[in-house]
Chains A and B, each alone.
Chain A
Amino acid sequence: MDYISRELFVTVAFWGSLLMTLIIFSGIVGDHALARFGQHLLVGASVGYLGVLAIQHVLRPRLITPLIADPTGDPLRWVPLVLGILLIIAGLDRSFRTKHTHAPPRWRRTLHGLGRIPVALLLAVGLSATLFGALQGTLFPQFWRAAQIAFDPNVSVPIFLAGVLTLLLTTATLLYLYVDPTRYLAEQPTYVRRLLVGWLWLGQRAIWLAAGIIFARLMASRLSLLIARIDYLLLTFSATPFWRWWDGRLP
C-alpha cells in the first residue's frame, strides 16, 4: 500500500509540476488565460502558505494563546492585536466597498483613518531601519575602506590604482547621472567643458560596463534555474512508472 501510494504521489507530482511548469513558461509567447491562471495559483499558494505559517507559528503561540491564558498579564500584547484588527477591518472595507456616488459615511471615514495607523507604523519602522542600516552598514564602512586605501602609505600599487580607478568611475558615474551637459556645460570655459565632457563620457561607459556585468551574471543565474528545472523534471520522469514501462519496452 505504501509502495502504491508513493508511486501515485510521484506520478501525480511529476505530471502536476510538468503541467504547471509549461503553463508558467507559456507566458513567454504572450499573455493568455492559462498563464494568468498559473501565476494566480502560484501567488495564491504562496500567500496561503504564508497565512498558515503566520497563524501557526506567530499569532497563535505568541499572541492568542498568551492573551487567552492571562489577559491582564502583559497589557502590551493587546496593542498588536488591536492594530492588526484595525488593519484587517480597513482592508476588508476597502476590498468590498462599491463605488460611492456620494461621500462615505463618517464612521467609514473614521475606520479608514484608524486603519492608517498600523500602516504608518509599519512604514515608519521599516524606513527608519533601512535608512539607519544603510548608513551604518554600507555608507560608512565603504567610505572608511576607501579612505584607508587612499591614505595608507604602505598600500600596494595595484590596490592604490584600483582605489583611484574606483574613485574616478564613481565620480564619473555620479556626474553622468546628475549633470545635463546641454544645460550646464554650454557657458563653461573651454577647458572645463572638455574635462567634464570626458568625465561624463567615462561615466557613461562605466554604467554600460556595470549593466553588462550585471546582465551577464543575471543571465547565468536564470540559466541555472532553467537547467535545474529541466533536470528536476527529467530525473522525476525517470522515476515514474510510465518511464519504467517505456524503458522496459526498449531493447
Chain B
Amino acid sequence: MSITRCPHCGTANRAGSNFCNGCGTDLRDSSPPPRDETPTPDELNSTNPSTESGSQPSVHVFDTPPEIPSNPHADSPATEPTTESATQQSASLPTDSSDEDDFADQPWLRLEFVTDDDEDSTGDAEDLTFDESGRLVTAVQGLLAPIRVATNIADNAPVPPIRAVPTVESVNNDELRLIRGLMAEPPTLVNYQVRPAQRRPRSLRIHWLFALLGLAVGLPAFLLLAGPVGRPYIWPGVEDAYITIQGVASNSLVVVYWAYDPATSGELNLAMQPVMRHLLQRRARIAVITTIPGGIATAERLIAQVRADPGSDNLSLAADLGQPITYAFLPGGAASLPLFARDPTTALLENILLFPPEQRQELVQRPALVIAAAAQAEDVQNWLEQVQPLDFTPVVAVTTAGADPILRPYLDSNQLFGLVSGFDGAYAYRQLLQPFTAPEDTLALLRQIVLQNWGHVALLTAIALGNLAALLSRETTP
C-alpha cells in the first residue's frame, strides 16, 4: 500500500493525494519529494527516528507491502498494530500553539480529539485501527462531521496482508467454465427461507398410472363391454363446418391440406371419415396436398376406406361419377406454403404426379374451400398464417382434441369457417350426416365413446386418489 504522510500533522494519506485528510494541508507543495522505499524487516522492527525525535516527519511511500508472515520478529510488540504505536505517534505529532489556533474552530481535525461517542463506546483503541472494509478513512469525509483517520499506520507499522489471489494458470478449464457459467447470469435474490424437507417427497408412480389407464381401456375392449355410453359434448364449430361443406358447389375444387400420418391417424381418421364422405357426396373435385412424407399414403387409405363403405347414400356410385382425386406432395415443409398461396395452380400442376401433364391443367382451378386436416395446431396455424391472408379461401379445420383449444380463437375471429376436433367432433359431425353414414362407422365410434368413458373414469380415480393421499399425508404447520 502506498501512503503519503502529511508534513504538517503526520496523517497518513493515500499516495497522490492533493490535500491532507487530517488538516487539509496542500500535499503538492510538500518537500522533500516523495521517495519510494521498501522497508526491510529491520526497518519494520525499529521505530522511526524522525518521529521519535519530534522533528518534521518525512513523507514515505510504500510501493510493496512487507510480508508479515515472513517477518521473523512479527511477534515483537513494536510491530503489532496496537494502540501503543498509535499513542506514540499521536504523542509525536506537533502540538504547538499556532496549530491550536488553527484548530480552534474545528477541534475534531485534531488527531487527539475524542468525541463523546468515542468515550462512551468500548474498545476505542480498536476503533482506531483498520475498519472491516480496510478503508483508511471512515465516516463522512469533509469538515461537517468528525472524521476518523486510521492513525496507526506508522512507517514501522505492519500493513495488513493482502489475500493471495489465485492466478488464472492455477485454475483448470473445468473450474473456469464453472466460474463463467456462474457469472453469466445475474444472481437471483432469494427472499424466502427454504425449510428443510421433513420427509422424502413422494414419487409420482407414473408407471402405475399408465398401467391403470391401459387396463381401464384394454379390459373393456377385450371384454367387448357396451357401456357406459354417454353423449359427447357438441363443441361450437362443427355445425359451421357442416354448413360450409354443404355449400360447396358440385365440381368445384376443394383442397385438402393433409398434415397427419399413420402416427395420429387413429384419432384423426374418426373425424376425417365423415368430412371426406360429405365432400364426396357434394361431388367436389378433391386435391390432396401434403408436406409430410406419409401424408399421401394416409389419405389414399382413408379415401379408399370411405369409398368402400356402403352407406345409404350409395356413395361408391357417386364417387365413381365424380372427378378423380389428385395428390400432391409439396417439398420444403411449411416454407413451401407461401408459394402455394401465391400461385396454387402452378404449385399443384408441378406436384401432381399421378396424371400426365396434358391432363393436369384440366384438374386445377382456384379452390373454393380448404380442409386443413392436421394433428398439430401449428400446421393449421401455418396455413392460416401463410396462405389464407393471400388467397382468402375459406378454411375448415379437422384436428385432434389436443389441438382444439389452441385453434378455437381462430374460429372466434372468423379465420376458420368450421372446426371439427377429436372423437366428440367426429360424433357431432356424424350426427349431422346421420342418414348417410355407414353402420360400421357408427359402431366404431360408439366403441370409442365407451372406451373413452372408461379411460376418463380411471383418470378421475387416479386424480382423486392422489389428492386424497396428499391430503392425508400433508404436513401441519405449527
Using CB atoms and an 8 Å cutoff, list the residues of chain A in contact with chain B.
Answer: 25, 28-30, 46, 49-50, 53-54, 57-58, 61-62, 125-126, 129-130, 133-134, 136-138, 141-142, 144-145, 182-183, 210, 213-214, 217-232, 234
Residues of A near B456 (CB, < 8 A) are 220, 223
CB distance from A58 to the nearest CB of B (A): 4
Known A137-B415, A224-B266; 13 more pairs at CB < 8 Å = A25-B214, A30-B207, A126-B333, A137-B389, A182-B191, A221-B267, A223-B217, A223-B451, A224-B270, A226-B214, A228-B448, A229-B266, A231-B448
**Complex formed: what's the CA distance from A232 to B305 in Å?**
14
Is A217 within 8 A of B210, CB to CB?
no
With A49-B294, A221-B400, A234-B222 as contacts: A129 and B335 at CB distance below 8 Å? yes
CB distance from B394 to the nearest CB of A (A): 14
Is A227 within 8 A of B217, CB to CB?
yes
Residues of A near B455 (CB, < 8 A) are 219, 223, 226-227
**Complex formed: what's the CA distance from A223 to B403 in Å?**
14
In the assembled complex, 25 residue pairs joining A and B whose CB atoms fall closer than 8 Å, in A order, are A25-B214, A28-B210, A29-B207, A53-B293, A62-B350, A133-B382, A134-B385, A136-B385, A137-B388, A137-B389, A137-B415, A182-B191, A210-B405, A213-B405, A214-B405, A217-B402, A220-B402, A224-B400, A227-B221, A227-B448, A228-B266, A228-B267, A228-B448, A229-B266, A234-B221
Is A218 within 8 A of B401, CB to CB?
yes
Beta-carbon contacts under 8 Å, B328-386 to A: 329, 331, 333-335, 337-338, 350, 353, 381-382, 384-386
**Complex formed: what's the CA distance from A13 to B136 in Å?**
87
Is B334 within 8 A of A130, CB to CB?
yes
**B interface residues, how many (CB within 8 angstroms):** 60
CB distance from B466 to the nearest CB of A (A): 14
Nearest first, the 9 A-B pairs at minimum CB distance are: A228-B266, A137-B385, A133-B385, A145-B413, A224-B267, A221-B402, A218-B402, A221-B401, A50-B293
Is A138 within 8 A of B384, CB to CB?
yes
With A217-B405, A227-B217, A230-B221 as contacts: A125 and B335 at CB distance below 8 Å? yes
**Complex formed: what's the CA distance from A210 to B412 in Å?**
17
With A133-B385, A230-B218 as contacts: A224 and B448 at CB distance below 8 Å? yes
Question: Which residue of A54, A125, A224 is within 8 Å of B423 (Cβ)?
Answer: A224
CB distance from B204 to the nearest CB of A (A): 13
Is B329 within 8 A of A217, CB to CB?
no
The reply on B138 being an interface residue by CB < 8 A is no
**Complex formed: what's the CA distance from A123 to B26 in Å?**
67
Identify the interface centre among B207, B400, B403: most chain A CB within 10 Å of its CB: B400
Interface 0/1 of B439-471, CB less than 8 Å to A? 000001001100110011001000000000000
The reply on B88 being an interface residue by CB < 8 A is no
**Complex formed: what's the CA distance from A87 to B329 in Å?**
23
Is A54 within 8 A of B331, CB to CB?
yes
Is A129 within 8 A of B386, CB to CB?
yes
Residues of B near A129 (CB, < 8 A) are 334-335, 337-338, 386
Residues of A near B404 (CB, < 8 A) are 217
Q: Is the interface of B mostly helix, strand, loop or mixed?
A: helix
Is B293 within 8 A of A223, CB to CB?
no
Residues of B near A61 (CB, < 8 A) are 353
Question: Which residue of B211, B221, B265, B381 is within 8 Å of A137 (Cβ)?
Answer: B381
The reply on B30 being an interface residue by CB < 8 A is no
**Complex formed: what's the CA distance from A203 to B264 in Å?**
33
Interface 0/1 of B262-280, CB less than 8 Å to A? 0011110110000000000
Quick one: closest A residue to B192, CB to CB? A182
Is B447 within 8 A of A231, CB to CB?
yes
Beta-carbon contacts under 8 Å, B206-226 to A: 206-207, 210-211, 213-214, 217-218, 221-222
Is B452 within 8 A of A232, CB to CB?
no
**Complex formed: what's the CA distance from A50 to B295 in Å?**
11
Is A28 within 8 A of B207, CB to CB?
yes
Quick one: closest B residue to A126, CB to CB? B335
The reply on B414 being an interface residue by CB < 8 A is yes
The reply on B422 being an interface residue by CB < 8 A is yes
**Complex formed: what's the CA distance from A210 to B404 in Å?**
12
Residues of A near B293 (CB, < 8 A) are 46, 49-50, 53-54
Is B414 within 8 A of A220, CB to CB?
no
CB distance from A128 to the nearest CB of B (A): 9
Residues of B near A57 (CB, < 8 A) are 329, 331, 353
Quick one: closest A residue to B222, CB to CB? A234
**Complex formed: what's the CA distance from A126 to B382 in Å?**
11
Residues of A near B324 (CB, < 8 A) are none
Interface 0/1 of B384-420, CB less than 8 Å to A? 1110110000000000111111100100111100000
With A129-B386, A230-B218 as contacts: A225 and B266 at CB distance below 8 Å? yes
CB distance from A156 to the nearest CB of B (A): 14
Residues of A near B402 (CB, < 8 A) are 214, 217-218, 220-222
CB distance from A35 to the nearest CB of B (A): 13
Interface 0/1 of B98-124, CB less than 8 Å to A? 000000000000000000000000000
**Complex formed: what's the CA distance from A115 to B214 in Å?**
47
Quick one: closest B residue to A226, CB to CB? B217
Identify the interface centre among B333, B406, B413: most chain A CB within 10 Å of its CB: B413
CB distance from A95 to the nearest CB of B (A): 22
Quick one: closest B residue to A225, CB to CB? B266
Residues of A near B451 (CB, < 8 A) are 223, 227, 230
Is B386 within 8 A of A133, CB to CB?
yes
Interface 0/1 of B179-220, CB less than 8 Å to A? 000000000010100000000000000110011011001100
